[in-house]
Structure 1
Amino acid sequence: MNGPKSPLATIFVVCSAEVLSMLTIAVFPALLPIFINDWALTKTDAGWINGVYYLGYLICVPILVSLTDREPARTIYIISMSISAASGLGFALLAKGFWTAMLFRALGGIGLAGTYMPGLRILTERLQTLRPGANHSRAVALYTASFGIGMSLSYFSAGLLEPICNLQGTLLILGFGPLIALFYMLLLLPSDERVGVRNLSTHLLDFRPVFNCKPAMGYVLAYTVHNFELFAFRSWIVSFLAFVATRNINEDFIITTTTIAACANLVGLPASILGNELSLRIGRHRAISIIMWTSTAIALGLGFLADAPLWLVTAAVIFYGVFITGDSSSITAGTVAAAPTGYTGATLAVHSCIGFIGAFAGPLVFGAILDATVTGGDGGTTVISWAWAFGVSGMCAALGPIFLQVSAKKS
């Protein structure tokens, strides 16, 4: 097999390509206050532009990920990365308002649909070839944590570049990320072998074997509410911090709001890995329950901290980032482990499609709650607005352990 010959090199190549491909993902939420002002967007409009990325993802992910059971995952990955590149550069050059932004954000979601879980499939297949029968859950943890690294780097880069290069220049520079990732994977993973491809008797979109697997579906539903909370947080955290800054006019954040958001996402790397280690020690269901319910508790109080000292708000946001991502790798590894034999791709397709309904709905519902709870005629949000939005998001995530428990009893 061409490509890296060691597991560590394989993990590095696939994970670093994922990070590069995601440089555009958080540019819109990171610079949301600028977009809202320049394009005269409502909070609901902004929620749609944030959420349509994941709508594009969930519409296409059943087909693209299921195809990895029948076609080489690398082929699907390369085509989809090309779409991601077109999305990033198209947004930079052609997006001028609500509808054009919706178009290119949706294309970005389609690209993610064919790179995120197919990338995981590439990783696990090649590791299985290099070390047959080994437990690859730690590699899964590193891969899912790389999503957070890419998101963090996107936030940080957008906040760093915009004051220097202006909005257009920032979008263009970061828009090259997926294009670089495309050539990176073409060069470093040249093999296109049909590793793991099977001749299955079921139709491409026949997910009955997955739906009938109750343990797998429990993880899928837990992933859905996890994503609702996580992507609501990622989409709106910079705007929340900007709101907090307006409430504390005599105090400044030590670091920029986009850097705080980047840190809150970056802590997801060790949090996700440590969450997986906790799962290996005390069991997945128990570890996921502890992490998700702690995250809910933090969410219920976060909005009320808007008038607190800025150092406390910063610490709370980063602390929330630890728990909101700490269950990610455990949930995904649980789905892979519970997948019916021969239907790993189909299971990951269901996992992603249903799971990212939460990713689409989270930012949209969050924005709608902010709009619904404004007071006065200026459209401004209040502390109660943010408390409601974070509270609903956290309570949704609290359902995850319940889904796992119910599915375990039915299996």
Structure 2
Amino acid sequence: MMEWLRRYPLPVIVLAQLFGTSLWFSINGVWLSLSAELGLGERDLGLMTLSVQAGFITGTLVLAVTGLADRFGASSLFAVAGVLGAAVNGGFVLAAGHSPADWLLRFATGLCLAGIYPVGMKLVIAWTPRHAGAALAWLVGMLTLGTALPHLMRGATLGMPWQWPMLGASVLALIGAGLIRCLGDGPHLPASTGPVPLKQGLVALRQARFRAVAGGYVGHMWELYAFWMLVPLLVGRELQRLALPGSLVPWFSFGIIAFGAVGCVVGGLLSRRIGSARVARGALSSSALLCLAYPWLGGASPWLLLGLLFAWGVMVIADSPQFSALAAATAPKAYVGSSLAVMNAIGFGITLPAIGFTSTLWDSLGVWVVALLWPGPWLGLLAFRRLGTLAGNSA
């Protein structure tokens, strides 16, 4: 079986990524049922989401600063993280509504995800180094589907206990861990041996081109996770205006977020023709425009706004794999894993205030809260302009 898996490493990695990252928004997918049962509100949703993000940031910083991402086999890290993530996600079923145990378990889930997402990027580069932008597009597409998957599971289990889709995400994470463990490490990155410098993950930040890419990525991240968190709330608003049942919220939410996977894959294909830099710039510009336009159209037809949400779901994530590919191209080869972990840590760090502001201000600002997302892609575009020579070469 191992030999068969190694013939098709990219499909194996992206499938494992899909299953592993279903842990990320497992709470958000069941939120309507969970909040109704336990009497929780949007601020509680924000706290739970922030806990996962904070755990992920902590985990990526530990990987980067200690060099663990480059000292140990990527497949082993991924497998261990998947098993532990499945366990703590399952533990939330017992702890839900019991603070601080519930949000501490969500924090632990984020820690485990740090061993899945950035390590998955390293696995892609190790197994399929050619056309990294297209390969990473598939990986981030699976992250997007993994984010949307809890909404699908909730929609498919309406009328059933909310615990079922939560435990389903844990089962998927275990399967993903097993697939990667069987696949093993790729042949195209040097293995690190012996002690490593404590701050090796920060080496790439000394390079101006890497900082330009990281700046674009950070701006993109200000918008991304806050938007994903807001999707069920924005969908619920439009369905209420249409007098449609709330049971449709998870189905629409799944479609909007999952449609972003199409944007990732199409962007990856385009990157082979026009370069990763152009794809990233185009997607970031489009999502910046949607951030500004959406609230001004808040009184327009609900169907128009739902259509814009689908378009936004595509553009908000299409640039992410291209930023990762550009970052991998500009980072020191021996420290690719740690460099990507640093960029992820900074990027996810910026999601904390974005999620905090939008979840807190939703009740008072309503649809206008999405305007707070616009500074991220705008500032990201300014930083990305400094890419200069690399952007020209990539194009």
* TM-score (norm: length of structure 2): 0.89
Amino acid at match of 2:11: F
Matches within 5 A, 1:284-323: 284-323=276-315
Q: Is the deviation greater in 349-358 or in 306-315?
A: 306-315
Larger fraction in helix: 2
Give 2:148's aligned residue: 152
Amino acid at match of 1:160: A
Cα shift at 1:27: 2.8
The 8 Å contact of residues 141 and 261 in structure 2, kept in 1 or not, is answered as yes
Write the distance in 1 (CA, Å) between the matches of 2:351 and 2:245. 29
The 8 Å contact of residues 149 and 266 in structure 1, kept in 2 or not, is answered as yes
Amino acid at match of 1:336: A
Matches within 5 A, 1:13-28: 13-28=12-27
Deviations 1:191-239 (A, max 9, x none): 6999621248852334442110121122222222212211111112102
Are 1:221 and 2:215 an aligned pair? yes
Write the distance in 2 (CA, Å) between the matches of 1:21 and 1:96. 24
Amino acid at match of 1:135: H
SS of aligned partner of 1:399: helix
Cα shift at 1:271: 0.7
The 8 Å contact of residues 52 and 360 in structure 1, kept in 2 or not, is answered as no
Match of 2:255 among 259, 263, 271: 263
In structure 2, relative to structure 1, the CA distance for the partners of 1:253 and 1:95 (3 Å cut) is closer
Give 2:168's aligned residue: 173
Give 2:79's aligned residue: 78
Give 2:225's aligned residue: 231
Match of 1:385 among 350, 366, 369: 366
Write the distance in 2 (CA, Å) between the matches of 1:49 and 1:74. 28
Write the distance in 1 (CA, Å) between the matches of 2:128 and 2:312. 33
Are 1:108 and 2:88 an aligned pair? no
Give 1:399's aligned residue: 379
The answer for unaligned runs of 5 or more in structure 2 is none
In structure 2, relative to structure 1, the CA distance for the partners of 1:97 and 1:35 (3 Å cut) is farther
Cα shift at 1:126: 2.7
Cα shift at 1:2: 5.3
SS of aligned partner of 1:63: helix
Write the distance in 1 (CA, Å) between the matches of 2:29 and 2:240. 17
The 8 Å contact of residues 271 and 279 in structure 2, kept in 1 or not, is answered as yes
Amino acid at match of 1:358: I
SS of aligned partner of 1:46: helix
The 8 Å contact of residues 17 and 185 in structure 1, kept in 2 or not, is answered as yes
Write the distance in 1 (CA, Å) between the matches of 2:79 and 2:322. 27
Q: Is the deviation greater in 280-289 or in 350-359?
A: 280-289
Q: Is the deviation greater in 339-348 or in 200-209?
A: 200-209
Write the distance in 1 (CA, Å) between the matches of 2:174 and 2:167. 12
In structure 2, relative to structure 1, the CA distance for the partners of 1:198 and 1:173 (3 Å cut) is closer
Give 1:381's aligned residue: none
Write the distance in 2 (CA, Å) between the matches of 1:245 and 1:150. 24
Cα shift at 1:50: 1.0
The 8 Å contact of residues 231 and 359 in structure 1, kept in 2 or not, is answered as yes
Amino acid at match of 1:59: T
The 8 Å contact of residues 277 and 326 in structure 2, kept in 1 or not, is answered as no
Deviations 1:114-168 (A, max 9, x none): 111112212321335xxxxx3333212111111112122222112221x232223
The 8 Å contact of residues 23 and 169 in structure 2, kept in 1 or not, is answered as yes
Deviations 1:19-39 (A, max 9, x none): 112233223223333334433
Amino acid at match of 1:63: V
Matches within 5 A, 1:59-208: 59-64=58-63, 66-128=67-129, 134-161=130-157, 163-186=158-181, 188-189=182-183, 196-199=190-193, 203-208=197-202
The 8 Å contact of residues 156 and 258 in structure 1, kept in 2 or not, is answered as yes
Q: Is the deviation greater in 104-113 or in 34-43?
A: 34-43
The 8 Å contact of residues 44 and 368 in structure 1, kept in 2 or not, is answered as yes
The 8 Å contact of residues 69 and 196 in structure 1, kept in 2 or not, is answered as no
Write the distance in 2 (CA, Å) between the matches of 1:294 and 1:78. 36
How many residues align structurally?
Answer: 389
In structure 2, relative to structure 1, the CA distance for the partners of 1:170 and 1:282 (3 Å cut) is closer
Write the distance in 2 (CA, Å) between the matches of 1:193 and 1:296. 39
Give 1:363's aligned residue: 355
SS of aligned partner of 2:161: helix
In structure 2, relative to structure 1, the CA distance for the partners of 1:200 and 1:398 (3 Å cut) is farther
SS of aligned partner of 2:27: helix
Cα shift at 1:6: 5.6
Deviations 1:59-93 (A, max 9, x none): 11123353232221112112211221112211123
Write the distance in 1 (CA, Å) between the matches of 2:273 and 2:127. 26
Are 1:272 and 2:264 an aligned pair? yes
Q: Is the deviation greater in 33-42 or in 221-230?
A: 33-42
The 8 Å contact of residues 67 and 204 in structure 1, kept in 2 or not, is answered as no
In structure 2, relative to structure 1, the CA distance for the partners of 1:308 and 1:110 (3 Å cut) is same
The 8 Å contact of residues 260 and 313 in structure 2, kept in 1 or not, is answered as yes
Cα shift at 1:4: 4.2
Are 1:245 and 2:239 an aligned pair? yes
